[in-house]
Structure 1
Amino acid sequence: MNLPTESFRRVLGKDDVKSLMRRYFVANGFDGTLTAIGVIVSSYLSGVDNGQAVIAVGLGAAVGLGISGIWSVWEIERAETKIEQRRVEEAMLTSLGDTRITRDLRYEQMLLSLASATGPVLAILILLTPFLFVESTLTMFQAVVLSIILAVLLLGIVGAYMGVISRQRWYVSALRMGLAGLVVAIISIFLPG
């Protein structure tokens, strides 16, 4: 009998699945990080004076991006899975039904959707952490600055990782990714409001 854990292990061992999971996780984590910077800086500049309010708004963004990540990738991969299934069925001149191939394709769809949602939610939660300490340890301004520093570091770490796996200069990739965080913070400062 083919247990789900065996199928998950088999699917996770596929290089193309790992590559797509990494892409979805990083791309949507990038979106989550930049969204969080915009929310945090704009909240502060709009006069929000307590950490709990920033956390509430940030969690709303995390929910939105998380659901968007799951839903969009689920639908994209569902369509791609149907295309792949039809291609294989036409080549084999038979219906695949509930076979190992179709089960693996469903598991791929699930894993890719989860990777897509996890990236932005995790990034936002990390960047909201300083706001838990507003009033007890940090001022609002300190929490904002610490969140921006965390965002730039997070983006830099992801950039360095991407540079290493693509055999490019890791520090250049780290700087490019980190720079995006600074750009969003600076633009957010100059937004009206």
Structure 2
Amino acid sequence: METFLSLLFFLGIIVVVVGAILFFIDYAQKRNKKKSLIIIGVGIIMGIVSLGGISLIDQHNAAIAEAQQQKIAKLKKEKNKKFKDTASEYLAEYYIIFGKAEDLGNTINKSWGDSIENSSADYDVDKVLDAIEAKNSSKITTITDGQSQLDTYLTTLKKNDTGKYNLKTYETANDRMSTLTTMVTSISGSYSSFGTDFSNADDAVSKSFKAISSTY
């Protein structure tokens, strides 16, 4: 439509120019100027109509652009609120699961160490670990469910990320927590390696907890 109106405007200019030329010819030859004046008038009307149409289209487009900007701003505001609300829930769950995973890790470390001190010649580490997991099955279930909830919260954070908050901090925190929860709910390795790995994973989660806590 704008292209058509632009062509109509330039055509109007041409008509006005042609009308003006005819007007001066009629004037010079002292002829009736009515036809040339009509042509000039038609050209002017074409110009006015085209400019008016272009102006209306520009106003319409500006209104649409403003409405879109308002919609985008509203959506961004809603996403920021959802991110902040979810981040608060994430932090609370993170604190709870951190405590439970840390407690279970310490229990595993102590139980495993005690079993080694009281071991006999037929010591079977797999049986020991199975027994430890069986004894702490309810704690393991709670921690596993908690990690799943953290994963769900993180998915929501990703969907509502507008760049206002540091999503990477939560992604790193979740990776670190996942490492810790996997370690204490699915025991593997040797006693010495478990102690070292657990300590490192626990320290990493502690750092991430401080990092996400500082965003409030």
Q: TM-score, normalised by structure 2?
A: 0.38
Higher relative contact order (CA 8 A, sep 6+): 1
Q: From the CA coordinates, give the structure whose radius of gyration is larger.
A: 2
